[in-house]
C-alpha cells in the first residue's frame, strides 16, 4: 500500500498464531506489517505493531478486510476524514493507496472433506419401475407383457436418506444405468463437504 513516497506491506498474522480466533462469521486474524503471513520484526506475538496498533482485521471465511484508519494514517500519511464521508474521499484515498502499490496478492486455501458411499443393487432389486408408463394406475399390473418375466429399468438418480427417512442428498448418474435380473450394479457416490 503506497501513498506518495510512504509504503507499507501488510499481511495477516495467520502464520504466527498458534490458536485461531473465531467470531460469529468465522476465523479472524490481525492485519500486521509483514509479508506472506509472517509479521516483520517489531510486531509482537499478539499481532500488533508496537507503534500504531493493529492495521485491522482479516475475516477469511467471509472474504472481508476491516482496516484501522488510525494505524494506516500513522504509517503512510493517509489521513481519513473522521466526519461523515458523504463525498467518498475515504474510499477513493484507500483505493489509490492500494492501486499505487507494487503488488496486491491474495492467497486462498480451502479444505474439502470427501467421503465415498457405495450402493449395491443386487440382481433381484430395482428391476421394476413405478413410472406410470410402466404399470397400470388402476390395477397396478405391468402394462407390457414382455416386462413381466424380463423387466428392464434404468437407474438415473440415487437418493440418500437419514435415519428419519428424510431425503438429504441426491446423486445423478452421468448416463442411465441399465438394470435387469441378470445384472448387479455397484454405484459409488462421492460426497464433498
Can you give the residue ranges of every domain in the chain? 2-99, 114-192
The tens digit of pLDDT for each residue in 106-130 reads 666 677 788 999 999 999 888 877 7
Exposure of 76 in the CB half-sphere (CA atoms within 13 A): 24
- Please state whether beta strands 114-121 and 153-161 pair in parallel, antiparallel, or not at all (unpaired): unpaired
Whether 1 contacts 101, CB under 8 Å: yes
Question: What pTM was estimated for this model as a whole?
Answer: 0.47
Strand partners, 115: 191
Query: Within the chain, which residues score under 50 in pLDDT?
Result: 46-47
Amino acid at each position: 500500500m503506497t501513498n506518495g513516497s510512504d509504503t507499507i506491506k501488510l499481511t495477516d498474522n495467520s502464520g504466527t498464531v498458534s490458536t485461531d480466533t473465531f467470531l460469529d462469521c468465522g476465523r479472524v486474524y490481525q492485519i500486521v506489517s509483514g509479508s506472506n503471513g509472517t509479521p516483520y520484526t517489531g510486531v509482537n506475538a499478539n499481532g500488533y505493531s508496537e507503534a500504531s496498533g493493529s492495521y485491522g482485521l482479516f475475516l477469511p471465511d467471509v472474504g472481508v478486510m476491516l482496516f484501522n484508519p488510525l494505524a494506516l494514517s500513522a504509517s503512510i500519511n493517509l489521513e481519513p476524514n473522521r466526519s461523515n464521508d458523504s463525498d467518498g474521499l475515504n474510499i477513493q484515498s484507500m483505493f489509490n493507496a492500494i492501486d499505487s502499490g507494487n503488488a496486491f496478492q491474495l492467497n486462498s486455501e480451502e479444505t474439502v472433506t470427501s467421503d465415498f458411499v457405495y450402493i449395491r443393487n443386487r440382481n433381484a432389486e430395482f428391476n421394476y419401475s413405478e413410472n406410470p408408463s410402466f404399470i397400470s394406475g388402476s390395477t397396478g399390473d405391468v402394462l407390457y407383457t414382455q416386462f413381466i418375466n424380463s423387466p428392464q429399468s434404468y437407474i438415473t438418480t440415487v437418493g440418500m436418506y437419514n435415519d428419519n427417512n428424510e431425503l438429504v442428498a441426491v446423486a445423478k448418474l452421468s448416463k442411465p444405468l441399465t438394470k435387469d435380473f441378470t445384472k448387479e450394479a455397484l454405484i459409488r457416490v462421492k460426497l464433498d463437504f
